[in-house]
Chains A and B, each alone.
Chain A
Amino acid sequence: MSRGARAVEEAILKANTQGRAALIPFIEGADPDLTVTEDLLWALAEAGGDVIELGFPFSDPLADGPTIQEAAQRALKNKPTLSDFLHLIARMRKQGFDTPVVIMGYLNPFWRFGLERLAKEAREVGLDGLIIPDLPLEEAGDWLHLARKERRASILLAAPTTPPERLARIAKASSGFLYYVSVTGITGDRKELPQDLALKLDLARELSPVPVAVGFGIGRPEQVRALAPYAHAIVVGSAIVKIIGRYQEQPQKLVKEVSSFVRTLREATSRGGN
């Protein structure tokens, strides 16, 4: 199977041809530690994650709500490095782990590591792409170029405040998928999603040459079910991270609970009769 931007896109399209939205579960890496992260990655793939979003913790996660902030604080106690994450992925790829993985993280640790080095090492270890929420289109030029060169997915974000012509430009620069932020706000599951979300997703899908994933605020199977017809993929983060937070002291139970939750999410991705 291919790796990189193409692998991400193919995994999503494959789910779509099976009559469902792709499921993209998110976990914060190194929470509670990297060994559990490894177990979780296997479990997420097995439970039906089509692409996995792996968070690299940052001291100042300004697009995240309390749940992921707390996860980052827990993870940072392990003093994780980007190299640790890349080694983990390299090892898992050798063991036959085939599900596409993208790392989500804030720019500074990546920039400090070196974007060129990161793009290159990502290709070498089999990391498929990156999501950098504080790197908007205007500042992303260098990264987009490097990612293209190494064929890694450069997943940009669009928000409800993004005007349509700008959304089209962002989508055009994205590879792997376009990350559509469902709410004007930060991450964290919500009872209610915006009324006009389905309409906005219709427009985003129309304007985007790459698949559209919707994320932020989605944590309930019924929300996944309601959105499945309108998005190519659905990202669920905080609701999973909450479970991880709850079972910090019981890693086996943690993995089991996450697995069973992700299974229910996966079932909800079906687009019914279509």
Chain B
Amino acid sequence: MPLPNRRGHFGPFGGRYVPETLMPALDELEKAYKRYKRDSDFQNALKFYLRHYVGRPTPLYPAYRLAETLGGHLKIYLKREDLTHTGAHKINNTIGQVLLAKKMGKRRIIAETGAGQHGVATATAAALMGLECVVYMGAKDTVRQAMNVFRMELLGAKVLPVYSGTQTLKDAINEAIRDWVTNVETTHYVIGSVVGPHPYPMIVRDFQSVIGRETKRQIRALEGRLPDVLIACVGGGSNAMGLFYPFVNDQSVKMIGVEAAGEGLDTDHHSATLTVGEPGILHGMMTYLLQDKVGQIKGAHSVAPGLDYPGVGPEHAFFKETGRVDYVAVDDKAALEGFRILSETEGIIPALESAHAVAYLCQIARDLPSGCIVVVNLSGRGDKDVEAVRQYLKEAKGV
């Protein structure tokens, strides 16, 4: 049986834990999605935009110099989502969802954003399709990521800072849900990751699965066989799900999701939800969460703002339970090392999020057998992080 089941559950995870006001809207969204999934006009429009606007298919690039640096015994491929329009995989989902919203007759688009990548991708898709767009962003994040705020504004979106709670991504999601509860009849909420109430984790997974489908086709053409290992970073988990999902039934393919260990798993400053969190309910889903003993949600931390979330997609929680995917964590320091290595060996400055996946490959490279084919999802480019990295290195030297 394909998952999620009829009620949106992946085993014990997922579901629809939302205020009653939203239940009819989630039903409506699910129905519309199922209908347009089989609608050839919709699918053709989606294909058109992915090809001519987003720039798909993205290359599957053999990273020879990186492979050489890591011992020369591996075949390393980078899935170049960083080369899409707006510079990250987020656009795969926003184009699909905004197109769907337009078909559903919604006039207004809202989204949450942490670092601003999903906000920019949503503002972009809304501009493209001529819909009004409002993006909620934690007040702290609007300061840290001022340039992305400006980008969204240039794209015609309104960015509303969120001052409640920790003033970061989780609070931006709360505020977006509150907006949706209030304006549900006219508004579609574009969730940015494989999180939230059913049907969102399924919809975002399906729109992001283009990453894995292309990878499968490309690696077969290049190597004549499937890869041995897939590695992707996991915050909410959309780029990882997009890469993994088309390979889930290929048992020979090992999959590794890399979370952010931040300043260390023994501190309170990390985002390693699957690695050290516990199950609970937040943002409409049952999944692994960072929470205290009595069930209050804790703040998350990572040098990579896109991984900075105390929850994770419910299907990842399910894959953890079934053992289909291994989830590990890499700390800030190692991620910066991955950032540096890829920049210097391949001339590719990765997003700090993606640098976690690169960093984990660096850690395990020695233990992988000769001839092993590894695909790393390079989910975004690092231009947005250059200033943060400069600050970090300055402070590291200063101490």
Question: Cβ of B21 and Cβ of A181 under 8 Å apart?
Answer: yes
- In the assembled complex, the CB of B121 is this many whole angstroms from the nearest CB of chain A, namely 23
Interface residues on A, range: 35 or more
Given the known interface contacts A73-B165, A112-B280, A134-B284, the answer about A59 and B19 at a Cβ–Cβ threshold of 8 Å is: no
The CA of A35 and the CA of B279, in the complex, are separated in Å by 32
Cβ–Cβ < 8 Å partners of B174 in chain A: 60-62
Q: Tally B residues with Cβ within 8 Å of A.
A: 35
Given the known interface contacts A139-B15, A186-B178, A186-B181, the answer about A113 and B294 at a Cβ–Cβ threshold of 8 Å is: yes
- In the assembled complex, the CB of B114 is this many whole angstroms from the nearest CB of chain A, namely 15
Question: Cβ of B294 and Cβ of A163 under 8 Å apart?
Answer: no
- In the assembled complex, the CB of B374 is this many whole angstroms from the nearest CB of chain A, namely 37
User: Quick one: which of A108, A158, A186 contacts B281, CB cutoff 8 A?
Assistant: A108
Interface of B is mostly: mixed
Cβ–Cβ < 8 Å partners of B370 in chain A: none
Question: Cβ of A109 and Cβ of B24 under 8 Å apart?
Answer: no
Which of B20, B170, B178 has the most chain A CB atoms inside 10 A of its CB? Answer: B20
Decide yes or no whether A194 CB sits under 8 A from chain B. no
Interface of A is mostly: loop
The CA of A149 and the CA of B22, in the complex, are separated in Å by 29
User: Quick one: which of B21, B280, B284 contacts A111, CB cutoff 8 A?
Assistant: B280
Question: Cβ of B21 and Cβ of A108 under 8 Å apart?
Answer: no
User: Quick one: which of A58, A69, A139 contacts B16, CB cutoff 8 A?
Assistant: A139
Which chain B residues numbered 16 to 41 have a C-beta less than 8 Å away from chain A? 16-25
- In the assembled complex, the CB of B250 is this many whole angstroms from the nearest CB of chain A, namely 33
Given the known interface contacts A158-B20, A184-B181, A185-B182, the answer about A109 and B295 at a Cβ–Cβ threshold of 8 Å is: yes
Given the known interface contacts A58-B296, A62-B174, A108-B295, the answer about A134 and B281 at a Cβ–Cβ threshold of 8 Å is: yes
The CA of A113 and the CA of B295, in the complex, are separated in Å by 8
Decide yes or no whether B184 CB sits under 8 A from chain A. yes
Which of A62, A63, A109, A133 has the most chain B CB atoms inside 10 A of its CB? Answer: A62
- In the assembled complex, the CB of A170 is this many whole angstroms from the nearest CB of chain B, namely 7
Instruction: Given A112-B295, A185-B182, output 17 extra A-B contacts at Cβ < 8 Å.
Output: A60-B165, A60-B171, A62-B174, A62-B283, A64-B178, A106-B281, A107-B281, A108-B280, A108-B289, A108-B295, A113-B294, A136-B16, A159-B19, A159-B20, A161-B25, A166-B23, A184-B21
Binding site for A on B (CB under 8 A): 7, 15-25, 164-165, 170-171, 174, 177-178, 181-182, 184-185, 280-284, 289, 291, 293-297
Binding site for B on A (CB under 8 A): 58-66, 69, 73, 76, 79, 81-82, 106-113, 133-139, 156-163, 166, 170, 181, 184-186
